[in-house]
Chains A and B, each alone.
Chain A
């Protein structure tokens, strides 16, 4: 069928309805994006701007603190995404096959942390990790165990932040996995059982491959989100101690607001964007598959 073209009047009405959304997107997404791209090639100050070409990119790529931020972000992403998938899949498998009431209750419980704002959640964690009156150290003291300075020690600060991400925030993935699990025909498992296949093999040969589209989705969304981790770092450690929790987005914020390096902050943001797009495309191309059952 040939493409349908709307008459001018109908097109005008369509544009009219689209205009508010387009205006908002143009003003708050496209314009800042384009302006930030321009700024990434400029030295910006209130008294004036000057073109510096690729200098901001060169400076960002040579900065050892930015290297540290990228390394921390990669570590955070690798652990949080893979750990998150393992945890949410395990929880979904535990719930799958239970009664509807059980599933609803636990889905709500797992989803609850997502409804608590990141700020509230981070503040609660700060109290849990507090050096003297913190809940965690109270428990460790009662058990006569050493009480680390969770957020003040360069060896424990990043693991502590990773732990906060791993403990909460799997609700959405659990719900997705549960939906995908209920879509796998039971006949596959019945045939496998008749052939004497064990539960472990059933999981690796039937369940996991058929969950691949969901896993790819959770993986890509998880990687994009984890690369942009900011709230917990900002509220819990401010990138310290000794840059051990400095992440790329926190470093961008720091460059812009604390150091006033507007051009470098924009350059770092575009480099991060480029990496996220590249990693997401790579994941999609290597892992995506059409599954029919």
Chain B
């Protein structure tokens, strides 16, 4: 056998080169193939069905979306659609990869994100609103999709952040949640009410510290800091949290567990899930933060208790809820942080296909028509269209105390602050990560005093914003 091999293969240099050249060519083919692979995917992305990405917002959402897409295909022959329900956990990573590769979905459900605007792939839709749309959409809903004066998506709902109270506990403690809804909740009254809400095994007030310091921003907003956004940045891109109102808000939150004992001593460790668990298992009277969507969650828990669905967490129980405003400094006006989201349109990088973009715009418009407002109704949110409110107002029970409070509180929203796009799309997240969050955590954990945390935060923000 060995002899056979030897006689068949020449050891000459020429033949060795032939073998090496052959190997080289094969490797080159492989490399070329691997390079062409993404190009093929790109072609498919540019010519295949319109891709819609959304999230699993509520039970039955996927069926609703599917029916909407089927109806769109029926009305627009020649265009097919494909949807993908992505999980909240993978949201950021999946979108980052899609945007970085220049292959975003054609239509995306979500709130406005400056990072995606900065890609240049998001399609403005100012010119796509019909006269009916302009009359029908609420200004607050359109505002949530606006950046630098342009409209970047069709709004679907209006929402805000607030707190939620266990109405039973309030009534047991003779604290009127209806009065708080209508009159607001100044800090001093909030503290006295919380003292009244103290009961064995029950904490009056729980809030979350991780993963973001947003609680700080809601309390700062209600202490007169209205010209900076939740990352502490002003509209001109400067840092706006280096002031007393912000420090006072931080001290107020720290005092809730360290001085007044109305919050659990474990507060510095609380995540969003921790505080929600305490609230829905009946061990907290007030939970921050929540949103009006908590009313839908409450209905789901009630259905589960009645045997119609699975409990989201063992031990959760349904009880009457009261939506509540964030406490505000007695000397300043109560402010809400409103928001919203909807369907946004993206084009593919380096692919000129105006017909596809136009179809994607039509699809996003279709998904946010009056019928599409059932999305908001399912989540106990206000539809972005007046026609949606007329259609689904009964389902939303707009005359209930909670929904009336929601509509009133929405009117008290602070103006939205957008730093310039170059700051908002890159340095804002860094300011939050390097300057705000670590000092928020350090102050709550007593690793730093409030003045130390404020000083370090200001220095950190300056370092990021000045690029030093």
A interface, CB within 8 angstroms of B: 2, 4-8, 11, 15, 19, 22-23, 26-27, 31, 44-47, 65, 130-133, 147, 149-154, 238, 240-243, 254, 256-260, 262
Contacts and interface: CB of A to CB of B under 8 A. Distances in A.
Given A15-B26, A23-B34, A152-B445, A260 B115 contact: yes
B275 to A, nearest CB: 10
27 contacts: A4-B5, A5-B15, A8-B18, A11-B22, A19-B30, A22-B27, A22-B30, A26-B31, A27-B34, A45-B118, A45-B119, A46-B99, A46-B118, A130-B274, A131-B269, A131-B274, A132-B266, A149-B269, A154-B442, A238-B211, A241-B438, A242-B441, A256-B96, A257-B96, A258-B429, A260-B100, A260-B115
A153 B445 CA distance: 7
B433 A242 contact: no
A27 B8 CA distance: 34
Nearest to B15: A5
B22 to A, nearest CB: 7
Interface of B: 2, 5-6, 8-11, 15-16, 18-19, 22-23, 26-27, 30-31, 33-35, 37, 92-93, 96, 99-100, 102, 115, 118-121, 209-211, 264, 266, 268-270, 274, 277-278, 349, 425-426, 429-430, 433-434, 437-438, 441-442, 445, 447
Nearest to A155: B447
Contact of B19 (A5, A147, A150, A254): A5
A23 B30 contact: yes
Residue among B15, B33, B211, B438 with most chain A CB within 10 A: B438
Contact of B120 (A2, A47, A260): A47
Given A46-B349, A153-B269, A242-B442, A258 B92 contact: yes
Contacts of A44: 100
A46 B100 contact: yes
Contacts of A262: 100
Residue among B6, B33, B99, B269 with most chain A CB within 10 A: B269
Given A5-B11, A131-B266, A240-B210, A260 B426 contact: yes
Contacts of B6: 4
Contacts of B438: 240-243
Contact of A46 (B15, B121, B277, B447): B121
B9 A7 contact: yes
A133 B425 CA distance: 38
Secondary structure dominating the interface of B: helix
Nearest to A129: B269
B115 A5 contact: no
A31 B35 contact: yes
Residue among B11, B26, B429 with most chain A CB within 10 A: B26
A132 B426 contact: no
Contacts of A131: 264, 266, 269-270, 274
Contacts of B437: 240
A68 B26 CA distance: 45
B115 A242 contact: no
Contacts of A19: 26, 30
B100 A132 contact: no
Contacts of A6: 5, 9
B255 to A, nearest CB: 18
B92 A133 contact: no
Contact of B8 (A7, A47, A151, A258): A7
A259 B100 contact: no
Contacts of A256: 96
A112 to B, nearest CB: 25
Contact of B269 (A65, A152, A238, A243): A152
What 3 pairs between A and B have smallest CB-CB spacing?
Answer: A152-B269, A149-B269, A131-B266
B445 A259 contact: no
Contact of B429 (A5, A15, A149, A259): A259
Nearest to B121: A46
A262 B101 CA distance: 12
Nearest to B10: A5
B434 A65 contact: yes
Nearest to B267: A131
A165 to B, nearest CB: 21
Contacts of B2: 4
A46 B119 contact: yes
A44 B119 CA distance: 11
B19 to A, nearest CB: 6
A58 to B, nearest CB: 13
Contact of A149 (B11, B18, B445): B445
Contacts of B27: 22, 26
B119 A241 contact: no
Given A46-B119, A46-B120, 13 more contacts: A5-B10, A6-B9, A26-B27, A46-B121, A47-B120, A151-B269, A152-B441, A238-B210, A238-B211, A254-B433, A259-B429, A260-B425, A260-B429
